[in-house]
Structure 1
């Protein structure tokens, strides 16, 4: 049974191995032997999908939306195998809105992997569903930045302050009036203390003059643009929301291992869509 009171849905992509050869063509005529008649690709929807430097597939790309409460696939879109993941979000959400209008109106959050975290996709999610895209920081080409702030060694590529003892400072909140994030000490602050962390006495004295609750460090929003001001990725609220995203990875695993989604033996986008639909329907039937 599909939940209709979902507050959040998850979106992600996966590959479906193709029964095709990349760029292989076939004749469109009945001529015998070689001829000058036009040729077409045997499968114009496949592409090289690289999982790592050592692993790649000739595949179709599947984008899917699932409800985090129901644990069932709700919407699918099929793309050429080499389509960037970040470019699949808008058409997938548009399809979801068309197929599940009531649920789309209720959603407040779309949970997605870090590859989706761009200003364009934040805008797309808001424009299409009036929802918030919840995705971790993707540092891309950013590097750690040194800082002259007392007791702070650097701001790492994820926008987190690192103290001179090498510990990540804990985000405790933000000051919207001043446009600043507020970080506290993960060793001494009672609400941020992490088990097992220690701080040498000399560093404790240098960083915060031995203050009982440790260092409080403020940083301007514009110093870490990779952090989402509306829902900072280093905060507890984000962690709780984002923890539900893994449901879509389990759904892909179940569909591939139990419903024959790992490889498709038909060619062409329309045939792949039909195959995916059968797999999704079968999962819904078994759930009921």
Structure 2
């Protein structure tokens, strides 16, 4: 279930633009010359090569146009003069061959150029005020591999595609052979800030610390809250968030928990001497404050509030969240504010939907994790560059 919320950038509005208009706006705000210089051929002999900046443009345009293979990209460049011109190729020259496109892509993979571009675009989006990075959502999504399937024991030793399994919303077990994209997203703009690509068998919870630390390294503001689903309910994720002075908002996974701590309910609410859950009464200087449920008129205790306290205000219990980072949360678990924050996690589901339905992240016709990473970064770069392009186009239109 998706919860609609306002965002700083609407990718849906971007998709409504015509292809020719979208590419023109997209490339007008993207300077690829510094990256193209790294790809220039230093061989003095032979025929003049193709413009490396134009090939980079073609790699970025391909996912927007639903182009999933190098052969398809060559054919589109060869037959569509407008597309070739928008990518920056000379019209009096044939389109680059499939082998040329493949060689340039291999050079990009070796130099991790797509990752460089991704980090630079994240920085630009923050500079332009397109993402706040105060509230982050972390999750993963499965992508299929275009590789020969192997037995599980053998595949886990290659470092490439492996077998993965998870349960969907309805409790059905889903298996696939491929990879996982682990992503940290700014919930306000729904733009990516940190990413990891792993074989499919890697546990989500194990990637939480790396993503949080990566996000903190590139964020230009303090991170306040990090939303993750129950698959990340591991102490190390709470600890890393705490080290970053942020609060992890994660539902408790109670499947392997026998009993809650003595004197507390499973969600960290203290219980009075009669066994009633006490009433959360806000945070007091980073302490969680709970009141007698009878004095707060939530239950009718047969002994009244005098059983625990001589005050009409009733007994008060204060809990230090640092005593158990996993159990206690500020705001308190299951409160309205906690649920509002957790609902922001749906922003990352929409990002995954755009990557798979509107771009080509789940149609990767390449082999090997390094090439897969490059294609994933290129798809993510499109989201960031599109936001920058729309922002700059809006400013130009406003000033005109």
What range is the shorter-chain TM-score in? 0.5 to 0.7
Q: Distance in 1 between matches of 2:167 and 2:260?
A: 30
Q: Distance in 2 between matches of 1:284 and 1:121?
A: 27
1:8 aligns with 2:150: no
After superposition, the C-alpha distances for 1:182-213 in whole angstroms (9 at most, x for unaligned) are 33477984xxx8xxxx86xxx44346479xx9
Paired residue for 2:12?
Answer: none
Q: Distance in 1 between matches of 2:253 and 2:201?
A: 22
Q: Distance in 2 between matches of 1:17 and 1:94?
A: 27
1:172 aligns with 2:311: no
After superposition, the C-alpha distances for 1:40-72 in whole angstroms (9 at most, x for unaligned) are 988823232222664222231111121122222
- Mapping of residues 24-63 of structure 1, within 5 Å: 44-51=160-167, 54-58=172-176, 59-63=178-182
Paired residue for 1:258?
Answer: 358
Q: Distance in 2 between matches of 1:263 and 1:166?
A: 55
**Does the CA contact (< 8 Å) of 1:46 and 1:81 recur in 2?**
yes
- Mapping of residues 96-245 of structure 1, within 5 Å: 96-97=215-216, 101=218, 104-113=219-228, 114-125=230-241, 127=243, 130-140=244-254, 141-145=256-260, 155-160=264-269, 169-173=278-282, 181-184=288-291, 189=296, 203-206=300-303, 208=305, 218=317, 225=324, 226-228=326-328, 231-235=331-335, 237-245=337-345
- Worse-superposed segment, 76-85 or 257-266: 257-266
Q: Distance in 2 between matches of 1:40 and 1:187?
A: 57
Paired residue for 1:34?
Answer: none
Q: Distance in 2 between matches of 1:161 and 1:216?
A: 11
**Does the CA contact (< 8 Å) of 2:249 and 2:341 recur in 1?**
no
Q: Residues 146 and 136 of structure 1: is their aligned pair in 2 closer, same or farther, counting only changes over 3 Å? A: closer
- Pairwise CA distance, 1:172: 1.2
Segments of structure 2 that go 5 or more residues without pairing to the other structure are 1-8, 10-124, 391-400
From 341, 347, 365, the counterpart of 1:247: 347
- Pairwise CA distance, 1:220: 5.4
- Pairwise CA distance, 1:126: 5.1
Q: Distance in 2 between matches of 1:120 and 1:255?
A: 29
Instruction: Give TM-score, length-normalised by structure 2.
Output: 0.50
1:17 aligns with 2:133: no
Over the aligned positions, Cα root-mean-square deviation in angstroms equals 4.3
Q: Secondary structure at the match of 1:205?
A: coil
**Does the CA contact (< 8 Å) of 2:226 and 2:247 recur in 1?**
yes
Q: Which consecutive aligned stretches of 4+ in structure 1 deviate over 4 angstroms post-superposition?
A: 39-43, 144-147, 161-169, 184-188, 206-210, 213-217, 219-222, 234-237
Instruction: Give TM-score, length-normalised by structure 1.
Output: 0.65
Paired residue for 1:67?
Answer: 186
Which has more helix, going by share of residues? 2
Q: Distance in 2 between matches of 1:207 and 1:144?
A: 28
- Pairwise CA distance, 1:235: 4.8
Q: Secondary structure at the match of 2:195?
A: strand
Q: Residues 107 and 241 of structure 1: is their aligned pair in 2 closer, same or farther, counting only changes over 3 Å? A: farther
Q: Distance in 2 between matches of 1:77 and 1:270?
A: 11
- Pairwise CA distance, 1:278: 2.8
Q: Distance in 2 between matches of 1:271 and 1:219?
A: 53
